[in-house]
């Protein structure tokens, strides 16, 4: 999860930077490939490249080869990375454009958190199993 000190308008940047800092993500242990996330804001497009290699995650800001590309507004993406909007539902309603490898997409969406107001008992997002 991103730090609380990051301003809401930077939630997307915080999400990518946090992923880059963590480096290793057991949820993506099966994944291999590069996901490009294109964030649009009016006429401006900001691309992020997330390269996954068997659980090792590298994040770059910029363009390059991608196996799967997600294109969406920065506003919607920020709602996704704060758990306010569900990514799969957003894809189903066409709010996120997808090209390329869907299997990689299914893995990548594991990184998005659940909704913020959820049952208190077990709200430890991301902690699945004990393997690495």
Partner 1 sequence: MTTGAFVKILDGNTFVVSDANGDIDASLTDATGLFSFDTRYLSKWLLTIDGQRLNALSTDDLNYFEARFFLVPGTGTVYVDAKLSVIRQRAVGDGFHEELTLLNHNEKPVELTVRFDAASDFADLFEVKDALAKKGTYSTVVDHGELVLGYQRETFSRATRISSSVPAKVDEQGLTFKLRIEPHGEWKTNIDVVTAGLVASGAVESRTRYARNGGHGRSSMEENLERWLGTAPRIQCSWDPLRATYRRSLVDLAALRFSPPIAGGKSLPAAGLPWFMTMFGRDSIFTSLQALPFKPELAAATIQTLGSWQGTRVDDFRDEDPGRILHELRYGELPAFEERPHSPYFGSADATPLYVVLLDEYERWTGDTKLVREFEHEARAALNWIDQYADLMGNGYIWYQRRNEETGLENQCWKDSWDSISYRDGRIPSFPRATCEIQGYAYDAKVRGARLARLVWKDAALADRLEREAAELKRRFNRDFWVESDEYFALALDTEGKQVDALSSNIGHLLWSGIVDTSKAKAVARHLMGPRLFSGWGVRTLAAGEGRYNPIGYHVGTVWPFDCSFIAWGLRRYGFKEEAARIAAGILDAAEFFDGRLPEAFGGYERSVTRYPVEYPTACSPQAWSTGAPLLLLRTMLGLEPIGDNLVVDPTLPAGLGYLELLDIPGRWGRIDAFGRERVEAEPPTGLRRQLGSTPAPRSSRQRARRRT
Nearer to partner 1, 66 or 105 (CB): 105
Smallest gap from Cβ 36 to partner 1, in A, equals 13
Q: Does the protein bind partner 1 through residue 116 (CB under 8 A)?
A: no
Q: 69 has which bridge partners?
A: 36, 99
Q: Does the protein bind partner 1 through residue 115 (CB under 8 A)?
A: yes
How far is it, in rounded angstroms, from Cα 111 to Cα 33? Answer: 15
Applying CB under 8 A, among 26, 45, 61, 63 the residue interacting with partner 1 is 26
Applying CB under 8 A, among 22, 24, 58, 110 the residue interacting with partner 1 is 110
DSSP string, 32-84: EEEEEEEEEETTEEEEEEEEEETTEEEEEES----SEEEEEEHHHHHHHHTTS
Q: 50: alpha, beta or left, given left = phi > 0 and alpha = psi -120 to 50?
A: beta
Nearer to partner 1, 7 or 121 (CB): 121
Residues making contact with partner 1 (CB under 8 A): 26-27, 29-30, 71, 83, 86, 88-89, 91-99, 102-103, 105-107, 110, 112-115, 118-119, 122-131
């Amino acid at each position: 999860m991103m730090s609380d000190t990051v301003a809401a308008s930077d939630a997307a940047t915080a999400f990518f930077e946090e992923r880059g800092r963590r480096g290793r993500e057991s949820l993506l242990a099966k994944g291999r490939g590069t996901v490009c996330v294109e964030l649009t804001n009016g006429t401006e497009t900001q691309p992020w490249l997330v390269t996954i290699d068997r659980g090792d995650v590298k994040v770059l800001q910029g363009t390059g080869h991608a196996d799967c590309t997600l294109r969406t507004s920065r506003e919607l993406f920020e709602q996704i990375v704060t758990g306010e909007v569900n990514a799969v539902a957003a894809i189903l309603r066409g709010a996120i454009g997808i090209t390329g490898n869907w299997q990689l997409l299914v893995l990548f969406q594991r990184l998005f958190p659940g909704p913020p107001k959820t049952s208190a008992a077990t709200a430890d997002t991301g902690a699945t199993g004990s393997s690495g």
